Amino acid sequence: MSYKDVKRGLPDRDTRVIAIINQKGGVGKSTTSVNLSAALGESNKKVLVIDFDPQGNSSSGYGIEKEGLENDIYDALLNNYPIEDLILPTCEPKVFVVPATIQLAGAEIELVSAMARESILKGIIDSVKDEFDYVFIDCPPSLGLLTINALVAADSLLIPIQCEFYALEGVTKLLESMKMVKGRLNPKLEVFGVLMTMYDSRTTLSKQVVEEVEGYFGKAVFKTVIPRSVKLSEAPSHGLPITMYSRTNKGSLAYIKLAKEVVRRG
C-alpha cells in the first residue's frame, strides 16, 4: 500500500514538522521517533518519520531491512530522487518511513559544495508534508550540515534528554545552533518540547536531573517522562514499536501518554 492510499481525515490544523534532536548520542532520539510516531499513528494521526541518521535506527526500529534498500534519503538530498518513491509503509498503518542507510554518512561532506545546502531537506519535506499530520526528523548525533538541514526544515524541536549526570551538557550549543538558524533561515523555529528519557524512579539522581532541566526549560518539559525499560531496548531487534512488542509495558504506556500530550500541545 502506498502512503497516498491512506487519506488523512479533514486536517484540524497544519502539519507539524518536528526535529527530534540532541547532538548527544544515546539519549533516546530514535527510540522516541519510532515509539511516539507509532503511538500517534494508533490514535489516528498520519505520521512520516524521516530517518536522518546514517545509523538508520528509526528504519531498523520499524523492521526495515536496510541491506535490501536501493535508495534512501541520501538520494533525495543529493541525487534529486523523488521523495514519494522513498516513502515506505510500516506495521502501523498510518505511519510511514523514509529510510536512511550508511550511505547518508557521505552527505555531510558532499553537501558542503551543494547549492542552497542548508535548505535541501526543507524543499523535500515541503513537497509531501500536506499528506501528513506530523513529520518527524530523527537527527544524527552531531551539529553538522545534516542537523542544520533539519533545523531549517522543522518548525519546532523535540529535545530528548537522558536522566543522567551532565544531562544539560551540550544543550547550550544546540540552542545556539537553533538561534543561528532562526535568525537567518527559519524565523518561526521554536522548541516544541523537552522529553526526559530513561528515568529511573529508584534513584534520586533521576529526580534531581528532571528538576534541573525543568529549572532550565520551564514548561517546555513534557509532563510525561519516559522510564528506563528493558523492553524499550529490545523492541528494535524485533523491528516493532513498543506498542506492538509489549503493549502493557511501562515504556509503551509512557509513549502512549506522550502522544496525547503532543496532540494537546497542538
Ligand X SMILES: Nc1ncnc2c1ncn2[C@@H]1O[C@H](COP(=O)(O)OP(=O)(O)O)[C@@H](O)[C@H]1O
Residues that bind Mg ion (CB under 5 A): 29-30, 53, 57
User: What is the smallest separation between the CB atom of 264 and Mg ion, expressed in angstroms?
Assistant: 26
Binding mask 2-41 for ligand X (x = CB under 6 A): -----------------------xxxxxxx----------
**Angle separating helix axes 29-42 and 250-265, nearest 10 degrees:** 70
User: What is the smallest separation between the CB atom of 257 and ligand X, expressed in angstroms?
Assistant: 13
- Phi, psi dihedral angles at 82 (to 5 degrees): -65, 130
Contacts of 4 (CB under 8 A, 6+ apart): 131
Q: Output the CA torsion sign for 89, 149, 241, 190.
A: negative
157 neighbors 189 (Cβ within 8 angstroms): yes
User: What is the smallest separation between the CB atom of 208 and Mg ion, expressed in angstroms?
Assistant: 26
Residue 3 or 56: the one with the smaller Cβ distance to ligand X is 56
Residue 249 is classified by DSSP as S
Q: Which three cell numbers stand for residue 73?
A: 534519503
Window 79-108: residues binding ligand X (CB under 6 A): none
Among 42, 51, 251, 259, binds ligand X (CB under 6 A): 251
Residue 56 interacting with ligand X (CB under 6 A): no
Closest CA to 98 of 120, 68, 75, 131: 75
Closest CA to 257 of 225, 213, 217: 225
Q: Report d(CA 76, CA 252) in Å as an integer.
A: 33
Residue 239 binds which entry of Mg ion, ligand X, none, CB below 5-8 Å type-dependent? none
Residue 64 or 226: the one with the smaller Cβ distance to ligand X is 226
Residue 11 binds which entry of Mg ion, ligand X, none, CB below 5-8 Å type-dependent? none
Among 57, 101, 149, 206, binds ligand X (CB under 6 A): 57
Closest CA to 67 of 98, 92, 103: 103
User: What is the smallest separation between the CB atom of 231 and ligand X, expressed in angstroms?
Assistant: 8
Question: In 10 A of CB 177, how many CB atoms?
Answer: 16
Residue 131 or 161: the one with the smaller Cβ distance to Mg ion is 161
Residue 233 binds which entry of ligand X, Mg ion, none, CB below 5-8 Å type-dependent? ligand X
Pairing status of strand 134-138 against strand 190-197: unpaired
Window 113-172: residues binding ligand X (CB under 6 A): 141
149 neighbors 111 (Cβ within 8 angstroms): yes
Binding mask 218-247 for ligand X (x = CB under 6 A): --------x-xx--xx--x-----------
Residues that bind ligand X in the complex, under the rule CB under 6 A? 25-31, 57, 141, 197-198, 226, 228-229, 232-233, 236, 251
